[in-house]
Amino acid sequence: MLKKITNIFVRIAERYIPDPLVIAIGLTMFCFVSALIFTPFSALDTINAWGTGYWSLLGFTAQMILILSLGHLVAHTKPINNLLVKLANLFQSAKSAYIGLTLIASFSSLFSWGIGLILPAVLSCIIASNLKKRNITIHFPLLVCCGYAGSLVGMQGLSSTIPLILNTPDHFLADKIGLISLNETIFSTWSIMIVISIMITLPFFLLRLAPDKDKSIEYRGNVLPEKKANALSNKTVTFASEKLENSRIITSMLGIFAGIYSLQYFLNGGSLNLNSLNMIFVVLGLLFADSVKHYIKLLSNAAKVAGPFLIQYPLYAGLMGMMSASGLAELLINGFVVISNAESLPIWTFFSAGILNIFIPSAGGQWAVQGPIMTEAAIQLGANIPRVAMAVVIGEVWTNAIQPLYLVPVLAITGLNIRDIMGYSILGLILSGTIYLTALLLF
């Protein structure tokens, strides 16, 4: 029965889900028309809001391009690639691969959602390649979905944006709600039980979605693109300039330099965020590359993978600008607040956050819009403020399962199209939504 339902969703996704860029442009036009219909903004006002917001995520865009490029680079250096191959060799069957990759993604993302996004994507290619060499059939799109779906619990982990904001002194809502400890948000029993429930049910649920062997799509890529780069370093060099380019000493010097900074940063109490994670990738890439020329070649290969970000992230930033400036986001949120009471506010907050996340796929940006409204409603209705804040978090996590923006790096690494995995992602969305609503209603 479940396989029949899966086949329906997969066929629908294959036929009707377009490229992520098409989705981003479609959402932009939908938001534009909605602002004209439901807000006082004129067409010119809305376009200006889009243009102003278009460049607002340049910093985040650069961070994501770097984390994707540098993570890809590090994964294809000899030491890390050998380590990943050894890890992949632990999986002797398709069943163990589906379950194991989901769990690896979950655990790594709880530590850092950036690692949880990139590592499973790279590892899925290596696992699929290894199994193919042993003549073991595995459905590659589902394996990739396992890695992505498993990583979503990371939004309730150590790098969860909204709980960290609320635990920061003098955050922008501190005068209204004060400081909210992490023990009341991501480290609360309620949140931990949600994570555990998903980590137990999700791997076995996704396993049940696997198609028959004759319908499986195997991995067709190459997991070792650095071989050509290695060949470059084996060429005979004669000039001093060539010797420098092919010397490991040059990259090692800079790697040690960056490593000292990174170590000092963490010893002084620095946290693991996108910048510090990127610096770790810089250090590892420089130390593990064979030479400057090898490093450049690996980075060039990685840059091809990161290309789709250059247009799509600014498009979503423009969406955020339209939603915020026009008042459309506030209108959507207030529509849910009006029908809420103290008990139901977290539930309606969850749904509003899930919808808003499609248009504002940034936890910090979403909280800047939704946070003031929901906290004020919580105060007025006497609702539990930490629970309302966590409802925003899990609402965002919920629709991240189908959010094209976060799927782009995974698709870029694995060489798949969004339609290849969206059918499975929608079913994962239904499962996680059931768990989230159960937690909100009963606990």
Nearest to 396 by CA among 441, 432, 362, 345: 362
- Nearby residues of 172 by Cβ (< 8 Å), 6 or more positions away: 368, 371
Q: Which of 424, 389, 407 is nearest to 184 (CA)?
A: 389
Residues in the chain where the model's pLDDT stays below 50:
224-233
Q: pLDDT tens-digit profile of 369-420?
A: 899 999 999 999 999 999 999 999 999 999 999 998 888 889 988 989 999 9
Task: Measure CA of the first residue to CA of the last residue in the chain; give whole Å.
Answer: 31
Give the length of the chain: 443
Q: Provide long-range contacts, Cβ within 8 A and 24+ apart, for 410-413.
A: 410/117, 410/120, 410/121, 410/144, 410/147, 410/148, 411/20, 411/308, 412/68, 412/305, 412/306, 412/307, 412/308, 413/68, 413/72, 413/118, 413/121, 413/122, 413/125, 413/305
- Phi-psi category of 218—alpha, beta or left, where left has phi over 0 and alpha has psi -120 to 50? beta
- Compute CA distances 207 → 12, 102, 267, whole Å: 20, 10, 42
Distance CA 384, CA 401 (A): 27
Q: Comparing C-alpha atoms, which of 393, 434, 8, 428 is closest to residue 184?
A: 393
pLDDT of residue 228: 46
Angstrom distance (rounded) from CA 246 to CA 433? 52
pLDDT digits (tens, 9 = 90+) for 270-304: 877 778 888 999 999 999 999 999 999 998 888 87
Q: Give pLDDT, residue 397.
A: 93
**Predicted pLDDT of residue 221:** 76
Amino acid 54 reads Y
Among candidates 272, 278, 312, which has minimal Cα distance to 161?
A: 272
Angle between helix 20-38 and 404-414 (nearest 10): 170
- pLDDT of the residue at 225: 45
Q: Confirm if 232 and 293 have CB atoms less than 8 A apart.
A: yes
What long-range pairs does 254-262 form, CB within 8 A, spacing at least 24? 254/286, 255/282, 255/283, 255/284, 255/285, 255/286, 255/287, 256/287, 258/282, 258/283, 258/286, 259/283, 259/287
Q: What is the pLDDT of residue 308?
A: 66
The distance from CA 218 to its chain's CA centroid, rounded to whole angstroms, is 24
Between the alpha carbon of residue 388 and those of residues 78, 198, 259, 273, 435, the distances in Å are 46, 20, 40, 24, 17
E-assigned strand segments in 84-206: none
Contact 364, 405 (CB under 8 A): no
Tokens 């067409």 belong to 43
Please give the Cα distance from 298 to 228 (Å, whole number): 9
